[in-house]
């Protein structure tokens, strides 16, 4: 890392003002380093000399020009995915080690996912509107439309850290989990989670799924959708292979094979909006082919005010906030601190970014 005897120079490029308590926490966590916290406001570039002084860069979206990155030995991103940075020269033309914040998003996104399932299945919106109107509705208004999750089948398309925590919570609700990955996971060792895990969460040994499926081609995905799923959760990285992966034909397969015929499949997307053909999704919801959708991501973002998706029935939209919470930044910096120690010892990084894979 830094020259023997000299402290690391950690540059944290943050995109909004930081509470004093958070800054104090950061400086305490990295007490043996020189920490610079630079608030990088939208449209205002970070000065070259700020980058040039850093040996470690922590960032969401800001990366230096190649000429200003000569001292940087490690880049830690505050996001799990790097699709927004894939074509930057730092990723394309250098071998500077990069680590991601994969693993920290599982708990909040799993809670967001299940919250939306229950808002739909327990008719929460209806009872909330009745409460606001001071109306005590008759039980008959709820009895036939509500259901629980016991025995439901959930397919998780992308069984990374987020998918594993969703699986853990789904299992607690009495659901059966089916996992889908890009590459085969045929041995117990290959099913282990080797990335960062928030203690007490996830599926570290990969034992939760009732079945594992894999493939990079559309036909393999369609076979997975034909399992008779009640829920489809999309937690894939956005890559050229996953862009536009799910459209009208995929939604039809999902609907035709649904496990419970009394309800149609429910789709949850916490991945990226471009994984889905959004027009086809709107049509599937309007026709009743799908029973509902929870979308924390859309195409584009922000979603224009006049977009038809806003008024599509049985859709719940949030502005890409499912991973947020006061725990986010401290957990991400836990990964950075772990990796600083690993680099000093010459050990492999946790959550290392592999340029060939795109994640």
- The mean per-residue pLDDT over the stretch 131-158 comes to 96
pLDDT at 40: 86
pLDDT bin (cut points 50, 70, 90) of residue 226 is very high
Task: Indicate the average pLDDT of the chain.
Answer: 95
Look at residue 359 in the predicted model and tell me its pLDDT.
Answer: 57
Give backbone dihedrals phi and psi of 23, rounded to 5 degrees, phi first: -60, -40
Q: How far is CA 49 from the centre of its chain?
A: 33
- Predicted confidence at residue 1, as pLDDT, reads 54
pLDDT of amino acid 292: 98
- Give the closest residue to 77 by CA, choosing from 332, 359, 330: 332
What's 88's DSSP letter? S
Q: Looking at the DSSP assignment, which residues form a beta bridge with residue 213?
A: 180
H or E segment to which residue 70 belongs: none
Mean pLDDT to the nearest integer, 146-174: 98
Contact between 190 and 221 under an 8 Å Cβ cutoff? The reply is no
306: left (phi over 0), alpha (psi -120 to 50) or beta: alpha
Q: Domain ranges for the chain, please list them.
A: 9-104+327-345, 106-317
Evaluate whether 235 touches 156 at the Cβ level (below 8 Å).
Answer: yes
If residue 56 lies in a helix (H) or strand (E), which one and from where to where? Answer: strand 56-59
Give the mean pLDDT of 17-32. 93
Output the CATH code of domain 9-104+327-345: 3.40.50.720
Is-contact 287 252, C-beta < 8 A? no
Distance, CA of 32 to CA of 52 (rounded, Å)? 20
Intrachain domains 9-104+327-345 and 106-317 with the same fold? yes
Q: In the chain, helix, strand, coil percent, each to 5?
A: 35, 15, 50
What element of type H or E holds 336? helix 328-345
Measure CA 18 to chain center: 23
Q: How many CB atoms lie within 10 A of CB 117?
A: 25
Is residue 262 over pLDDT 80? no
Res 287: pLDDT: 98
CATH annotation of 106-317: 3.40.50.720
Average pLDDT over residues 320-331: 95
Measured at the CA of 132, the angle between CA 149 and CA 119, to 5 degrees, comes to: 15
Q: What angle do CA 51, 358, 211 make, to 5 degrees?
A: 140
pLDDT band at 2 (very low <50, low <70, confident <90, very high): low
Query: Looking at residue 246, what DSSP letter applies?
Result: B
pLDDT band (50, 70, 90) for residue 5: low
* Number of CB atoms found within 10 A of residue 257's CB: 13
Location of structure tokens 């195409």: 299
């Amino acid at each position: 890392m830094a020259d023997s005897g000299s402290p690391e120079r950690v540059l944290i490029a943050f995109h909004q003002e930081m509470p004093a308590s958070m800054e104090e926490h950061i400086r305490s966590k990295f007490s043996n380093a020189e920490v610079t916290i630079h608030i990088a406001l939208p449209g205002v570039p970070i000065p070259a000399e700020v980058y040039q002084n850093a040996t470690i860069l922590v960032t969401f979206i800001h990366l230096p020009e190649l000429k200003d990155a000569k001292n940087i030995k490690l880049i830690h991103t505050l996001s799990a995915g790097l699709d927004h940075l894939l074509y930057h020269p730092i990723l394309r033309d250098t071998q500077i080690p990069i680590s991601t914040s994969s693993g920290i998003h599982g708990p909040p996104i799993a809670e967001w996912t299940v919250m939306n399932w229950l808002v739909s299945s327990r008719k929460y919106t209806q009872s909330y509107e009745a409460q606001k109107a001071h109306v005590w509705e008759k039980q008959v208004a709820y009895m036939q439309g509500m259901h629980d999750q016991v025995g439901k089948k959930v397919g998780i398309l992308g069984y990374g850290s987020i998918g594993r925590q969703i699986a853990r919570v789904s299992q607690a609700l009495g659901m059966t989990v089916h996992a889908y990955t890009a590459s085969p996971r045929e041995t117990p060792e290959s099913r282990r989670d080797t990335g960062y895990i928030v203690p007490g969460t996830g599926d570290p040994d990969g034992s939760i799924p009732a079945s594992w499926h894999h493939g990079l081609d559309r036909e393999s995905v369609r076979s997975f959708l034909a399992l008779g799923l009640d829920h489809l959760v999309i937690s894939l990285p956005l890559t050229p292979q996953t862009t536009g992966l799910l459209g009208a034909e995929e939604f039809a397969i999902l609907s035709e094979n649904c496990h419970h015929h009394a309800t149609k499949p429910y789709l949850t997307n916490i991945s990226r909006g471009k994984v889905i053909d959004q027009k086809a999704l709107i049509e599937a919801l309007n026709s009743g082919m799908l029973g509902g959708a929870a979308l924390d991501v859309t195409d584009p973002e922000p979603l224009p005010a006049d977009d038809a998706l806003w008024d599509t029935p049985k859709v719940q939209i949030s502005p890409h906030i499912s991973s947020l919470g006061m725990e986010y930044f401290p957990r991400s910096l836990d990964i950075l601190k772990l990796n600083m120690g690993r680099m000093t010892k010459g050990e492999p990084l946790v959550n290392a970014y592999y340029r060939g894979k795109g994640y």
